[in-house]
């Protein structure tokens, strides 16, 4: 079974995507792939999200299509049924932790206690959320000493200005963010500019 760590190692950036139509999702996925990112977190924040996951997973089988904002076991099962290859949650509940699914879950944490609870459940890879509000780079540095085998994907307030600082930490495998998929550009259908932003973001992280 694919692990959350393996998912986190696919790209330094996991774009956090919220789309208003299936067509929008397909064009956005294509733009990101042209820019060099072949992993997508399509969040369950819009009415078309499940259909978008299904369409992108089918149209781009070579990419890693995942679901974000997965809050319960029912959603966890539904995103897998739609073709998602991983799921991301803003937190971790008993229900999610023990739900038997064949795709990996990257649960969110914000505190040491939540990390410890996640370790009890058998997880060692987490999304730190909302990263900048709960301490950002300094928090992840501090977590490194007591939780030496834990890795993070900080999400929430991550942008072009601080992504490199996060990724310089040994316990950060990738970052999640929406700065490479600006809502304004999506609304304008300016997907060429999104490809350009993605290329520039990856170049800046080298």
Walking along the chain (206 residues) 10 residues at a time, the average pLDDT comes out as 94 98 98 98 98 98 98 98 98 95 97 98 98 97 97 97 97 97 97 98 95
Preceding peptide of 130 cis, ω within 30°: yes
Residue 127 bears catalytic tag: yes
Catalytic annotation, pick one of 127, 164, 165, 188: 127
What pTM value is reported for the model? 0.96
pLDDT of residue 182: 97
CATH code of 43's domain: 3.20.20.70
Tell me the residue range of the domain where 201 lies.
4-205
* H-helix segments, the chain: 4-8, 22-35, 49-59, 73-81, 94-98, 112-120, 136-144, 163-167, 183-187, 191-205
Catalytic option among 23, 30, 41, 184:
41
75-114: pLDDT as tens digits:
999 999 999 999 999 999 999 999 989 999 999 999 999 9
Residue 55 is predicted with a pLDDT of 98
Domain count, the chain: 1
Whether 6 is a known active-site residue: answer: no
């Amino acid at each position: 079974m694919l692990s959350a760590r393996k998912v986190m190692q696919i790209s330094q950036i996991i774009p956090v995507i919220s789309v208003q139509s299936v067509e929008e999702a397909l064009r956005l996925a294509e733009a990101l792939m042209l820019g060099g990112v072949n992993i997508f977190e399509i969040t369950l924040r819009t009415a078309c999200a499940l259909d978008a996951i299904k369409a992108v997973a089918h149209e781009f089988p070579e990419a890693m299509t995942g679901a974000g904002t997965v809050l319960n076991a029912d959603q966890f099962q539904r995103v897998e049924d739609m073709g998602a290859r991983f799921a991301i949650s803003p937190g971790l509940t008993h229900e999610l932790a023990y739900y038997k699914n064949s795709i990996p879950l990257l649960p969110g944490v914000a505190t040491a206690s939540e990390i410890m609870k996640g370790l009890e459940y058998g997880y060692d890879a987490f999304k730190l959320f909302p990263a900048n509000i709960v301490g950002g780079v300094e928090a992840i540095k501090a977590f490194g000493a007591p939780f030496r085998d834990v890795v993070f994907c900080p999400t929430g307030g991550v942008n072009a200005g601080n992504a490199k600082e996060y990724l310089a930490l040994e316990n950060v495998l990738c970052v999640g963010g929406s700065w490479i998929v600006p809502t304004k550009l999506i609304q304008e259908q300016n997907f060429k500019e999104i490809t350009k932003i993605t290329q520039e973001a990856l170049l800046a992280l080298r």
